[in-house]
């Protein structure tokens, strides 16, 4: 693996300063891990970078930020290493390189997704189906989405395995994964070491906005996912194919999830636009915003489909929604979406180190 | 500009505590900070903890730390040169400061790794002093305190026992205001190396200043020249030995070196000059500033070998490394023959090292060597060898304004009716010499709050 040495060198330089200072020890998981080392290998730095959630607390607290000659900007240094690690560890790597930083390519992928679904709808439309399945037969949907779902999972699994090796983590233990899930579920670190939140929107003012927005997106996404899963079970196990009524479980889950997702994504983009870009991986800003936009659009088009499913625009909407979903799934390993997986892995490895 | 009720000179901990207290008492407060916003907060931005009395667990502090124990600790480091009345006031009030600080935005954390010995006595700021300063600025601004950055106070006009006018410059322009009350919280004078050199001799030009370059004692000199009561003398300062490669100003905590107890320290002639193992490092690091200052060119060199490298906290600059002592001497600009001889004499004087214990006084000593090394004396034999250069790093100066228990300044035998001082600039009123870790922030917080309260009472009554 060939990570960018200038990013690693810069992160190493700063980590060594932090190791002599330690003032930020209580902010997040990065510092206890950092202070446990005396020298930092590339793998150590990659692990630290993936433990960092870019809350910026340590930037505003730091007495050594520019114009001081030590020029500390740990959130940026770690963001660059983190971003680079996601690109380098991606499988296939070229896809990571292409999409992580490139908002335009993400948009193009989404458009290709739409086009594919329009074509599929036209070519594979079914005669007998009801509702959505009249537009695209159930089997055609499965034929498109099963691989589109399995491939990203496989790709991410390969990447995480690479990650685990690169950071030199010990044997995998489910208990450590459990601990990581526990931390991630309530986004402990996003509260900051003191429970006041992040410094994301207004210099050194601590706010909970970023945590709230993350929670909305994560739970919104999980609800939508649950909706699809419940529908799948109903379809196959109970022989109850779609469409479902408004008070059915898939719709309740899907509508609430969709709303959370849309609101969360809009607020996330607003937050990102307000934030100081020089404290993140500047080069990846466009890619991140485009990805959040795509995710929000998945939610939005899904809601539109719920609302207008009985009208004549339904087939168009369905193609757009499914196209967006398809692009989203396929891009998952190569966009910001991957961060959740890496973060969970980093927390698991850290739980393992602490024993 | 219309004059505020209260002008506060300085933008560090003491100034902010005064400003917040005065604003909460209803006064219109103006902070004049000479630094730009990015460097606001003086030396306070470099701190990490404050020392706090407490009966029973309090915030991050465990057990208890009584007034008598605190005072005894203080007396020990100052050799009794302490104003007991003001010291007791600071100590007693420190307990209510901790919750006050939390209410005003400061967050604490458990002791940092490597400082566990302080878990009972010192409360550490989450994110360090700059995060404390940031929180106080937020709080002050919410209370309507006006802050002017790059506003350098040059003169306070005195009419008998009253300050009538403050002059300051900002963006090349001179401004004059006439507040009802004035609080001086502008620190010591250590960043003015000419002044240091006048007091210390030319050697002081080689000192490094650990904290802000903005504490140049302009206001202090102005007031002392006009006969405001003084305390301490300009030769007293707190100085420690830090990495010789540290920047001239603002190097802060990361330039400290904790390796002296495991080393030998030589001067530029490669001669040892003091017992490196006299006591555990936290108790000795403050004397090494003066020891190094007394050496030719005010520089020292720490020499260790491979077996000691991991026994101390890493510092910001990597050590100089060499496979032989000759090579090390060469890289550090020391006379090689002399260094080899000093090390071999030292090694020969080392005895049984089986009781070596890095974290306590182990009594592993040299015999027949002058100066002796009385603890942790292990021969320096195992390559690679490592070296650091040492210079004197000044933390703060003691010369200051004499205040009473109301933080009020005086002239002749009477108080100046509208002038108070807080923080480093009056710390000499309490400490005659020596220093106790975390007491600087205690003094600033306690007397900053007192000064703010008194200044507001005066302004509100007039
Ligand atoms: C590296 C380092 C670490 C330290 N760590 C600790 C610690 O952990 N705990 C502890 O208790 N103490 C510590 N100290 C000591 C501590 O910093 C001081 O005791 C304390 O900060 C003093 O606060 P202050 O508000 O009086 O002064 P400062 O915080 O220095 O503030 C002085 C202010 O006055 C301003 N100023 C100066 N001249 C003018 C002028 N002419 N016009 C306008 N403004 C002016 C300066 O810009 C500055 O904002 C440390 C000191 C250093 C250098
Ligand atoms: S970010 Fe700055 S203040 Fe925080 S630990 Fe690192 S050097 Fe210290
Ligand atoms: S930005 Fe936040 S999460 Fe990242 S290292 Fe700094 S304090 Fe920790």
Pairing of strands B162-170, B152-159: antiparallel
Computed from CA positions of residues B51, B53, B59, B63, in that sequence, does the dihedral angle turn out positive or negative?
Answer: positive
Ligand 3 pocket, residue A55 CB under 6 Å: yes
Q: How far is A186 from chain B (nearest CA, A)?
A: 21
Given this model, what pLDDT does residue B5 score? Answer: 96
What's the CA gap between B251 and B245, in Å, rounded? 10
Q: How far is A63 from chain B (nearest CA, A)?
A: 6
Instruction: Tell me if the bond preceding B54 is cis, omega within 30° of 0.
Output: no
CATH of domain B240-393: 3.90.700.10
Mean pLDDT (chain B, rounded)? 95
A255's tokens: 């509508």
- From the CA of B215, the nearest ligand is 1
pLDDT in tens, chain A (355 residues): 678 899 999 999 999 999 999 999 999 999 999 999 989 999 999 999 999 999 999 999 999 999 999 999 999 999 999 999 999 999 999 998 888 888 888 888 888 888 888 888 777 765 566 777 777 787 888 888 888 889 999 999 999 999 999 999 888 899 999 988 888 877 777 677 788 889 988 899 999 999 999 999 999 999 998 998 888 888 888 888 777 777 788 889 999 999 999 999 999 999 999 999 999 999 999 999 999 999 999 999 999 988 888 888 888 888 889 889 999 999 999 999 999 999 999 999 999 988 7
Select from B137, B139, B157 the least CA-distant residue to B149: B137
Judge: B253–A69 Cβ closer than 8 Å, yes or no. no
Within 8 A of B128 by CB-CB distance, chain A residues are 21, 23-24, 61-63
Q: What is the pLDDT of residues B90-113, one digit of tens each?
A: 999 999 999 999 999 999 998 777
Given this model, what pLDDT does residue B113 score? Answer: 75
Backbone angles phi, psi at B417, to 5 degrees: -65, -25
Rounded-to-10 torsion of CA B250, B255, B261, B264: -100
Q: How far is B135 from chain A (nearest CA, A)?
A: 8
DSSP secondary structure, A221-272, as one string: HHHHHHHHHHHHHHHHTS--PSP--TTSHHHHHHHHHHHHHHHHHHHHHHHH
pLDDT band with cut points at 50, 70 and 90 for residue B1: low
* Domain boundaries defined on chain B: 6-234+398-461, 240-393
Ligand 3 pocket, residue A346 CB under 6 Å: no
ipTM associated with this complex: 0.95
CATH of domain B6-234+398-461: 3.50.50.60
- Whole-structure pTM over 0.80, yes or no? yes
pLDDT band with cut points at 50, 70 and 90 for residue B328: very high
What percent of chain B clears pLDDT 90, i.e. is strictly above it? 90
Pairing of strands B6-9, B29-32: parallel
- B403 DSSP 8-state letter: B
What's the CA gap between B51 and B451, in Å, rounded? 20
Best mutation site among B7, B8, B12 for ligand 1, i.e. most ligand atoms within 8 A of its Cβ?
Answer: B12
What's the CA gap between B77 and B156, in Å, rounded? 35
Across A144-156, b (16+ Cβ under 10 Å) vs e yields beeebbeebeebb
Q: Is the pLDDT of residue B2 over 80?
A: no
Select from A261, A236, A235 the least CA-distant residue to A248: A235
- From the CA of B18, the nearest ligand is 1
Q: Are A152 and A329 spatial neighbours (Cβ–Cβ below 8 Å)?
A: yes
* Domain boundaries defined on chain A: 5-87, 92-354
Q: Output the CA A56–ligand 3 centroid distance in Å.
A: 5
Q: Are A78 and A11 spatial neighbours (Cβ–Cβ below 8 Å)?
A: yes
For the CA of A56, the nearest atom of ligand 3: 1
Minimal-distance CA residue of chain A relative to B45: A63
Within 8 A of B254 by CB-CB distance, chain A residues are 17, 20-21, 64, 70
Judge: B127–A24 Cβ closer than 8 Å, yes or no. yes
Report how far Cα B272 is from the mean position of its chain's Cα atoms: 27
DSSP secondary structure, B258-325, as one string: --GGGSEEE-TTS-B-S-TTSS-HHHHHHHHHHHHHTSGGGEEEEEEEGGGGGGS---SSPPEEESSH
Q: Is the pLDDT of residue B127 over 80?
A: yes
Q: What is the pLDDT of residues B263-301, one digit of tens each?
A: 999 999 999 999 999 998 888 888 899 999 999 999 999
Kindly state the helix (H) or strand (E) to which residue B165 belongs, with its residue range: strand B162-170
- Compute the C-alpha angle A233/A234/A237, nearest 5°: 65
Q: Is the pLDDT of residue B56 over 80?
A: yes
Q: How far apart are the first and last CA of chain A?
A: 28
Q: What is the pLDDT of residues B197-225, one digit of tens each?
A: 999 899 999 999 999 999 999 999 999 99
DSSP secondary structure, B38-104, as one string: GGTTGGGGG--EEE--BSS-BTTB-S-B-HHHHHHHHHHHHTT-B-HHHHHHHHHHHHHHHHHHHHT
What's the CA gap between A303 and A281, in Å, rounded? 32
What percent of chain B clears pLDDT 70, i.e. is strictly above it? 100
Q: Are B298 and B391 spatial neighbours (Cβ–Cβ below 8 Å)?
A: yes
- From the CA of A13, the nearest ligand is 2
């Amino acid at each position: 693996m060939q990570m960018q040495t200038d990013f690693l060198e810069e992160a190493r330089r700063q980590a060594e300063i932090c190791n002599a200072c330690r003032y930020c020890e209580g902010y997040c998981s990065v510092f206890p891990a950092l202070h446990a080392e005396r020298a930092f290998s590339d793998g150590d730095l990659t692990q630290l970078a993936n433990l960092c959630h870019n809350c910026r607390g340590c930037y505003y607290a730091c007495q050594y930020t520019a114009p001081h000659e030590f020029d500390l900007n740990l959130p940026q240094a770690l963001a660059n290493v983190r971003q680079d690690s996601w690109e380098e560890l991606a499988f296939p790597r070229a896809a990571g390189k292409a999409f992580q930083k490139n908002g335009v390519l993400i948009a193009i992928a989404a458009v290709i997704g739409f086009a594919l679904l329009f074509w599929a709808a036209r070519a594979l439309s079914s005669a007998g189906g009801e509702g959505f399945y009249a537009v695209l037969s159930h089997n055609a949907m499965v034929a498109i989405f099963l691989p589109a779902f399995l491939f990203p999972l496989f790709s991410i699994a390969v990447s995480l395995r690479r990650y685990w090796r690169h950071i030199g983590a010990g044997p995998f233990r489910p208990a450590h994964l459990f601990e990581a899930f526990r931390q991630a579920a309530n986004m402990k670190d996003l509260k900051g070491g003191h429970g006041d939140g992040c410094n994301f929107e207004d210099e050194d003012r601590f706010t909970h906005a970023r945590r709230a927005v993350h929670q909305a997106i994560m739970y919104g996404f999980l609800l939508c996912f649950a909706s699809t899963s419940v529908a799948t079970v109903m379809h196959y196990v109970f022989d109850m194919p779609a469409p479902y009524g408004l008070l059915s479980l898939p719709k309740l889950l899907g509508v609430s999830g969709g709303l959370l997702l849309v609101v969360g994504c809009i607020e996330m983009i607003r937050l990102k636009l307000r934030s100081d870009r020089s404290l993140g991986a500047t080069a990846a800003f466009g890619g991140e915003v485009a990805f959040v936009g795509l995710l929000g659009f998945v939610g939005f088009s899904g809601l539109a489909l719920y609302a207008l499913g009985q009208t004549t625009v339904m087939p168009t909407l369905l193609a757009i929604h499914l196209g967006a979903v398809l692009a989203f799934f396929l891009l998952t390993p190569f966009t910001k979406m991957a961060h959740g997986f890496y973060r969970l892995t980093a927390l698991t490895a850290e739980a393992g180190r602490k024993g | 500009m219309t004059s505020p009720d209260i002008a506060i000179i300085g933008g560090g901990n003491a100034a902010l505590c005064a400003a917040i207290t005065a604003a909460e008492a209803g006064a219109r407060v103006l902070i004049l900070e000479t630094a730009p916003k990015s460097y606001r907060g003086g030396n306070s931005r470099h701190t990490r903890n404050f020392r706090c009395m407490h009966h029973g667990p309090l915030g991050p502090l465990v057990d208890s730390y009584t007034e008598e124990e605190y005072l005894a600790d203080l007396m020990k480091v100052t050799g009794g040169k302490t104003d007991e009345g003001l010291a007791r006031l600071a100590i007693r009030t420190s307990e209510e400061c901790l919750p006050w600080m939390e209410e005003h935005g400061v967050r604490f954390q458990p002791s940092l790794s490597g400082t566990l010995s302080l878990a009972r006595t010192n409360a550490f700021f989450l994110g360090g002093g700059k995060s404390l300063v940031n929180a106080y600025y937020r709080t002050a601004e919410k209370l309507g305190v006006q802050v002017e950055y790059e506003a350098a106070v040059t003169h306070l006009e005195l009419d008998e026992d009253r300050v009538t006018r403050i002059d300051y410059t900002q963006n090349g322009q001179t401004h004059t205001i006439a507040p009802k009350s004035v609080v001086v919280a502008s620190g010591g004078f250590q960043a003015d190396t000419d002044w240091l050199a006048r007091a210390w001799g030319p050697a002081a030009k080689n000192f490094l200043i650990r904290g802000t370059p903005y504490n140049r004692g302009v206001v202090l000199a102005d007031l002392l020249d006009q006969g405001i009561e003084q305390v301490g003398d300009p030769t007293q300062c707190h100085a420690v030995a830090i990495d010789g490669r540290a920047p001239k100003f603002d190097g802060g905590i990361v330039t400290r070196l904790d390796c002296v107890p495991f080393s030998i320290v030589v001067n530029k002639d490669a001669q040892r000059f003091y017992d490196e193992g006299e006591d555990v490092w936290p108790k000795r690091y403050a004397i090494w500033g003066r020891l190094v200052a007394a050496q030719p060119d005010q520089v020292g060199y720490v020499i260790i070998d491979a077996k000691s490298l991991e026994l101390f906290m890493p510092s910001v600059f990597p050590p100089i490394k060499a496979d032989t002592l000759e090579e090390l001497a060469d890289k550090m600009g020391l006379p090689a023959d002399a260094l080899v001889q000093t090390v071999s004499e030292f090694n020969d004087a080392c005895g049984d090292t089986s009781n070596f214990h890095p974290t306590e006084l182990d009594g592993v000593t040299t015999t027949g060597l002058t100066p002796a090394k009385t603890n942790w004396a292990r021969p320096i034999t195992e390559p690679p060898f490592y070296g650091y250069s040492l210079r004197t790093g000044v933390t703060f100066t003691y010369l200051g304004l004499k205040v009473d228990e109301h933080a009020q300044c005086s002239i002749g035998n009477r108080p100046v009716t509208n002038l108070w001082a807080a923080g480093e600039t009056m710390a000499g009123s309490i400490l005659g010499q020596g220093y106790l870790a975390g007491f600087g922030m205690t003094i600033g917080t306690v007397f900053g709050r007192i000064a703010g309260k008194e200044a507001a009472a005066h302004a509100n009554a007039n």
